[in-house]
Amino acid sequence: MSHHFHALVWIDHREAKVFHFSEDESEALVIRPDHPTHHLHHKANEVGSGHAAENQAYFHEVTQAIADAGAILITGPANAKTELVKHIHRHDPRLVEKIAGIETSDHPTDGALLDHARRYFRAEDRMTPQEG
């Protein structure tokens, strides 16, 4: 991938879409865990919370895909986005300061994701100097 300052991650437990982009260009990468989790339902008299354990290898691969970005927007529909941020805090703390925002979003198209990220960073960039 060529280097773009901005990166967008849309993530759930089944896949992560990583976009490196500028105003008029973008490159996309889709990352899937080796063993994606499925929705778990609680059962009476069962041990455990019913939640799947965090997939550290998956989060590590996503983190590596955004390691060279200067500003990162993380989005997704549920807990995976916050689990990714926790993973970054624990395993790659230098990236924490590059996270510009964390937002909830359902399942938009890739074009809608990029449009949103470009609008987000147009507003954000007016207040933040770009240093790669």
How many domains does the structure of the chain reveal? Answer: 1
In a domain, 87, yes or no: yes
The tens-digit pLDDT sequence of the chain (132 residues) is: 557 999 999 999 999 999 999 999 999 999 999 865 544 444 454 555 444 556 899 999 999 999 999 999 999 998 999 999 999 999 999 999 999 999 999 999 999 999 999 999 998 776 565 555
pLDDT of residue 55: 86
The pLDDT, as a whole number, for residue 128 is 60
pTM for this structure? 0.81
DSSP characters for 46-110? -SS-SPPPP-HHHHHHHHHHTTT-SEEEEEESSTHHHHHHHHHHHH-GGGGGGEEEEEE-----H
Whether 77 maps to a domain, the answer reads yes
Q: What is the pLDDT of residue 131?
A: 59
Neighbours of 101 (CB within 10 A): 14
- CA atoms of 79 and 56, how far apart (whole Å): 14
CB 34 within 8 A of CB 62: no
Residue 28 within any structural domain of the chain: yes
CATH number at residue 86: 3.30.420.60
Q: Tell me how far apart the alpha carbons of residues 40 and 123 are, in angstroms, rounded to a whole number.
A: 39
In angstroms, the CA 47 to CA 105 distance is 32
User: Which residue segment(s) compose the domain that 117 sits in?
Assistant: 6-33+54-125
